[in-house]
Amino acid sequence: MPKTETKSIEKLTYEEAYVELEEIVSTLESGEKPLEEALALFERGQLLTRRCVELLDKAELKVRKLSGEELEPFQEGE
């Protein structure tokens, strides 16, 4: 089981959720899992998929600008 398994779904970033989802898919792909384990993976996979879609839906482009070597917020039209 991947380490992130224990992390709450709601706290995962898109990358984390996506990487774990890919792992689950390839674990399921690699074949002979006991049914119990396959079901658990499947259930986790469903949650991860939902999390990813949710993060995509609410994603907002984050724009900052360099001021010297510091990063500060950038207001468009500034």
What are the residues binding other proteins (CB under 8 A)?
14-15, 21-22, 24-25, 28-29, 33, 35, 38-39, 41-43, 45-47, 49-50, 52-53, 55-56, 59-66, 68-69, 71, 74, 76-78
What's the distance, CA 8 to chain centroid? 11
> Of 1 and 53, which CB lies nearer to other proteins in the complex structure?
53
As measured in angstroms, the least distance from the Cβ of 41 to other proteins is 8
Output the CA–CA distances (angstroms, integers) from residue 36 to 1, 5, 47, 48, 60, in the order listed. 14, 16, 17, 18, 38
